[in-house]
Structure 1
Amino acid sequence: MSNAEADPAELRCAAADRAEAASQVDVVSARDVPLGGPRAMTVRRTLPQRARTLIGAWCFVDHYGPDDVAETGGMVVAPHPHTGLQTVSWLFSGEIEHRDSLGSHAFVRPGELNLMTGGYGISHSEVSTADTTILHGVQLWVALPEEHRNTSRDFQHYVPSPVREGGADVRVFLGSLVGDTSPVRTFTPLLGAELALDPGSTTTLPVQAGFEYGLLVDQGDIRMAGTLLRPSELGYLGTGNDTLTLTNESGTPARAVLLGGVPFEEEIVMWWNFIGRSHADIVEARHAWENASDRFGSVDDYDGDRLPAPALPNATLAPRKNPTRH
């Protein structure tokens, strides 16, 4: 998915202060971002924000739906570029058609992972299918480390099977959890999993103490390590925990996405759909896209124009760090 904000945030993201207390859960509220057009589909964005810019290498979290496609027109995102990141598409309902400049033509369906590696440069389109009536899911980005940020473009598809743990069904789409490991390649240690919690249940998950974690609640009220999270809120938990206890406070099933990773120590600059290490990297990527450079290739069989890049800011991108806990 493209970051379709008319005035995309200017961010230089850095690692958090590692003196943070691991046991405290920070609650990050979402902000609404329209994807554009008179019947704009609105997404709820929890990363990046002033309160938090990174969780591991996870740098972008959009949560959307349940969206009535008859009212909004669904998702129609024309070909657009990416650099220095991987995109992770995960649906709860509906279907999205994906095409990219690698030649991939695939469909995003509920419970199925589509992961695209932008690396040095890729372009892709995303359009909800004609049969989709309700569109509901998340779109996530992962920052690539310096060693791999100019890697070759790639596309992977994976369908995880649910694993029962306590009062939850767990689908691990990236990394390892509850004895299940995804075969999908990432460039830093990561975790991505959908959790479906039974009504009133409590589940304790064995987690990695070297990871920091974020829990995005989709439905229900979930208590994470003692802190109550409501739908569309993201709970952040720092490193130093080898278990994570989740309680569904609702009388109905709850659902959440658990994200985790080793703290990402590199400073990055993120603007529009590009991740680099300097303002100059962003300028170079934008120039290449606007001039139809071979860097991003082309998306075949898309009926329409590609997305133009927004105007660059008049100032150099400013640093923005995760807050220090007191």
Structure 2
Amino acid sequence: MVKHGFDLDGVLGTSLIEMYSKCGSIECALAVFRAIDRKKLGHWTAIIVGLGMHGMADQVLELFLEMRKNGMHPHDILCRAGCLDEAKNVIESMHMKPNKVIWMSLLGGARNHGNVEVGDYAARHLIDVSPDTVGCYVLLSNMYAAADKWEKVSQVREMMRKRGVKKDPGCSSIEHRGVLHEFIVGEKSHPRTKDIYSKLTEMREKLKSVGHVPDTSQVLLCLEEEKEKEAELENHSERLAIAYGLINLEPGSPIRIIKNLRVCNDCHSVTKLLSSIYDREIIVRDNSRFHHFRNGSCSCKDFW
């Protein structure tokens, strides 16, 4: 790109950094970043996220401090800290028009901290800026479901229907002996379905024995019985893939899974526990980042 005179200062530079990071070539991502003359917030964000994906904490901190020295300010840090009103004030005082990424950060923070008022505010602006962003409707539904506002969940679904916005079904993939096995929620067509669901039962009992209580607020269906909600969580695609991996992969070998959607809070907690219960490293690549689960903890430190 550089040899042919392409300008890396814009979206192209950000895209290259993200591509190299996601392909595992973090050194190439750093080389692209260093070659950009006029670095923008998107470039800093892309390389910091890339380094974080690869567990390079020291370099992340070093670049973050360098970014601040260059006058760049992160929009999402207040949201993560739960300082949502402060984050809202920062956004409102910006000289530029807030974009999709900024509103998604505020909405995600509101969802994580259960602030429905700020979540509504962020969602309204996000839908104005990017009405086809599926993640906005999903986060909004999650927030309302967690707050037990099922009428609001129904309103969000109706809004999606009218706008023609469709949520992709959760799908998780795992490779074994050169064959890619894909699982969707409640998958029962796999040749080893009986073994997989037997393993899920074993996983449930082991989780229960260490005190895990399912977070049924993650279930977006209006089910009255708590057991129905728990069963819905147990059928999430990544759990089916984990069960398959525990059955088929060599003891002690890592279980590597790719998921097309964000891992829900309950599945994240469950996978941390399973990594400890079965003494296995479980690596999940969702649509947000790489999660390396080891010994009951995750590399994302519960921020994703």
* TM-score, normalized by the shorter chain, greater than 0.5: no
Q: TM-score, normalised by structure 1?
A: 0.28
Which is helix-richer, 1 or 2? 2
How does the TM-score come out when normalised to structure 2? 0.29
Instruction: Looking at secondary structure, tell me which structure has more strand per residue.
Output: 1
Larger radius of gyration: 2
